[in-house]
Structure formats: C-alpha cells, structure tokens
Amino acid sequence: MSDTATAPATGEPIIRIENVSKIFGGTVKAVDEVNLEVQRGEFFALLGPSGCGKTTLLRMLAGFEVPTHGQVIIDGHDMSTVAPNKRPINMVFQSYAVFPHMSVEQNVAYGLKMDRCPAKEIRERVAEALDLVKLGSLGKRMPDEMSGGQRQRVALARALVKRPSVLLLDEPLSALDAKLREAMQLELVRLQKTVGITFVIVTHDQSEALSMANRIAVMNAGRVQQVAAPTTLYEAPANRFVADFIGKINMIEGDAVKAGQGEVTVTVTAPGIGEVTLAGSETGKVALAVRPEKIFVADNEPADPSVIKVKGKVGEVAYFGSYSNVFFDIGLAQPLQADISNVTTDVEEITFTAGEEYWVYWRKADTLVLSG
C-alpha cells in the first residue's frame, strides 16, 4: 500500500514516554525503561510479537495501567497517575466493545451524553462522526445487523466523536478477514488524514504497520529495538531481531573483522562464498542478511565483482501468482530463499525443478552486516 498516513507536524511532541517501566508481581518486567516521542498529527505504530510489552505500553497511555517508574506526558502534562476519563485521548479496543442493545447513533452518542452535552450538539457531532466513517445512512441500525467491518467503524466513530487529541487503537483489525483488513487499513489512513489527530496503533502484524504508519517502534522483551520510518526499518534494520521481524530475510552466519575505512571482512560458513568485504562496523559473530527479492538466479557464473555469488540446488518452490518463493540449498542448515518474479511471457522461463543447480547471487550493496 503506497498511501500512508499524513506526515506529522513539527514542534513539541504530543506524547513523551520517559524512562517508563512496568513490573507485574514484583518480578515480571513487561515494559523496560522505554523512551519514546510521538509527534502531533502522526500515525505511530507499536509493533512486536505477543508478550513484547506493546499493549501494556498502550494501556499506560490510556491510563488503564500506572507505570512502576517513569513518566507518561501527553500534550505537555504528566498523565502517569491521571484517570483514563480525564485524559485527552480515546481508545478503540480489539473487540470493538460496541453496546449490542443500542443503535449505531446511540452507541456513538453515549460518551457525549455522559459529558452532558446539549442535545442539538450531540445530534450534529454524531452525524459528523458517522459521515467520517461512511455510516451516515446506517444510524438506526443495531450492531447485530452489521458486518464486522461496520461494527469497527461504529467503534471508531464513538471514539472520534469526543474529538480526542490522541486516538489509541489496540489491534483494531485482528478480528477481520484478510481482504476486509486490507480495505480497513486504507480507511484508517484516510480517516487519520481527514481528522488530522494523532493515531497510535498496536499490532503484531508487520505488514499492517508498514502500510499505515509514519513511524514504527519495534519492541521485544519490553524494550524498544528501533524507532524509524517503515522504509528505514525494512532497508536498514538496527539488529537481527528487527531484520527478522520486519519482512522476510536470509541470514548467513559469519565472523567479521575490521578492514578499515568503514568496512569489515566477513568469513562465512557457506561453502563457495568464503570471505567477503562489505560496508559496516560490526565485528565478531555477525550475519550477512539479504532480502529474498534482492536475490537473482542465473545459469552461468556472474562475472560482476560487485556481487556475492554461490551455487545452489533448487529445493522447495512455492507459487504466489506474480512471484514464486524458490529455496536453494547452498550447504547450510537453512536454505536461501529467493523471490523470483513470474512476470514473463514464457512460462517455461519461470519453472524451477527440485535438484536443478543455478548460480544464486546478490549485490554487496544490498547485504547487511548484523549483530545482536
């Protein structure tokens, strides 16, 4: 998806998380000394595997959990001990939490009624919120008469109607099927651009985060591993965990020593590669990492000195329409994966048979040297 959220405004960040930790039961450190800033008007993602601390961090932003240490600052005010209903935020839950006994309009109006807003203002703001999420004609319907995607829109409208400074989204698309989930990703980006407020989304789905967010914080074991724009995370991951979590990647183990002038020489375990000198500063035990789509296949040995090359035998082949995953045995425990385009006029040119041998190669410039 090429259409990501609107670029954040510059200036004082709307959220500052300073040295925040959360310890449960005196021993379980769910969040460990996290420091983050979220800019005003930004679409920000907290991404990581289950149990990494991202949801606990979101709950501390919402006020459902209190930090053991550190400060949660929202719009210039320390909110660490402020009640959830006193914060300039609203939240959309994974389960949507739509009231089943209320119509769509009643669901959206509920928070405004609790705030004792005038009836005329409630009607106007509910209509505006429903139009934003493209449910303007469905206000009288009951939740059980709606699809999962429509119920999610009701939950979004109910959160947006109170005009929060920050909207928190906890795995909001996980209950939807794949096609609807992709459509709703576009809708969330459109909505964020339209309202212009800060969105913070928690997800374990890296493709979801990459497609929507301006910036992503990748978390593991309670710590932030890297905060960057999607393209930076994908092309220049900070360590092995980020590289492996964001997309698919091949890793070849090796030992690196300094070669001078910002380069290292890596001796790898793959037969036929031996030593290779690359840009980098990491030394000791490292991995050469390369994305599958950056690997090429040839019948004849490449003569280009700017590539890394090795002979490989075709193993498994998985067909995905426009491309195929082809796995090559290069003498390591794990095969080398290449994403080979199927965009050709000759079907025979893209057919790989198990046991066939090819030269597999990729540019040195596309190779990362990673530690950690």
Closest CA relative to residue 208, chosen from 58, 47, 40, 42: 47
Give residue limits of the domains in the chain. 15-241, 249-370
Render pLDDT for 14-64 as a digit per residue (tens, 0 to 9): 999 999 999 998 888 999 999 999 999 999 999 999 999 999 999 999 999
Q: What is the pLDDT of residue 2?
A: 38
> Which range (35-49, 94-108, 268-282, 341-355) has the least confidence?
341-355
pLDDT the model gives residue 152: 83
Average pLDDT, integer, range 233-243: 94
Helix axes 178-195, 148-160, angle to 10 degrees: 20
DSSP-derived pairing of the beta strands 166-170 and 198-203: parallel
What beta strand segments (E) does the chain contain? 15-24, 28-38, 43-47, 69-74, 77-78, 89-92, 166-170, 198-203, 215-220, 223-228, 250-260, 263-268, 275-279, 284-290, 296-298, 307-319, 323-329, 336-341, 357-363, 368-370
User: Does the structural domain 249-370 have CATH classification 2.40.50.100?
Assistant: yes
Q: What is the mean pLDDT of residues 134-157?
A: 85
* Whole-structure pTM value: 0.86
Q: CA 45 to CA 40: how far, in whole Å?
A: 14
278-335 pLDDT, tens digit each: 998 888 999 999 999 999 999 899 999 999 999 999 999 998 888 889 999 998 889 9
pLDDT band at residue 6 using 50, 70 and 90 as cut-offs: very low
Share of the chain above pLDDT 90, in %: 54
Is residue 182 over pLDDT 90?
no
DSSP line for 13-25: -SEEEEEEEEEET
Number of residues in the chain: 372
Q: Is 347's pLDDT higher than 50?
A: no
Overall CATH class of domain 15-241: alpha beta
Q: Is the pLDDT reported for residue 9 higher than 70?
A: no
Q: Give the residue among 41, 82, 32, 43 at the shortest CA–CA distance from 61.
A: 82
Smallest Cα–Cα separation from 334: which of 316, 352, 318, 354? 316
Alpha helices in the chain (DSSP H): 54-62, 104-114, 119-132, 148-160, 178-195, 206-212, 230-235, 240-245
